[in-house]
Structure formats: structure tokens, C-alpha cells
Amino acid sequence: MHSVNLLRGLVLTIVVCVSAACTSSGDTRGGQQNAVLVLAKDMGDGWPLTVPQGEVYCEGYRSAIFRADGTAYALNNHATNEGYANIAPLLKPGRDVGPILQMALALCE
């Protein structure tokens, strides 16, 4: 229940942040996108990645992307089909991108 409330709070924060145009940054391919900075410290034990932070954004038709250290990673099949890097090397063992994927998809709407 705690993780569900945490996820809802993070998604709400992202929606508010995007509505206020808190950040805007380009994709590594040059397209201008709204991106939201996500931090491991904000998600605590729910953070599924080995990097401490990155940006999430949506491109095209629901391509969910996570960018860290200058590389854009696919969070879903739409982004994989667009040629983004596989995020698997950044995943902690036994974890999935679910929480971060939901944040990126919230930006698609």
C-alpha cells in the first residue's frame, strides 16, 4: 500500500511539474521534449535502477524513455522499436521499470 501511495504521489508531482513546464530538454536525437528529473533518493527502496538519477520523457506515440549519463534508454516496446538502448543493464537484480515507466507514460498524456 505504501508503494502505491508513493507511486501516486510521484505521478502527481510529475503531472504538476509538467503542467508548470518545470523543465524542457532535448532528446539525444535532437527533438525537443518535456523531461522530468527523477531521483533514487525520492523513491527510496522502490528505485529499480543502478544509477542515482535520470530524466523521463515521452516521445512520439507513447515511447517512454529514461535518459541517464547522456544515453536514452527504452522503457517500453514503443521506444525499443524506435531504436533506443535497452535499459536492462541499468536494472537492479529482480527489479523492473514499472514505477519509472508509469512516470514517463504520464507525460504522454
Which comes out higher in pLDDT, residue 15 or 87?
Answer: 87
The string of pLDDT tens digits covering residues 23-80 is 333 344 444 358 999 999 999 999 999 999 999 999 988 999 999 999 999 999 999 9
Contacts of 1 (CB under 8 A, 6+ apart): none
- Which residues face 72 on adjacent strands? 67
* Mean pLDDT across 8-37: 49
- Residue ranges of domains in the chain: 2-106
3-state helix, strand, coil in the chain (%, to 5): 40, 30, 35
Per-residue confidence (pLDDT) for residue 30, from 0 to 100? 40
**Among 9-13, 26-30, 80-84, the least confident range:** 26-30
Reference 42, options 6, 79, 75; nearest CA is 6
Per-residue confidence (pLDDT) for residue 51, from 0 to 100? 98
pTM score of the predicted model: 0.72
* Mean pLDDT across 90-101: 96
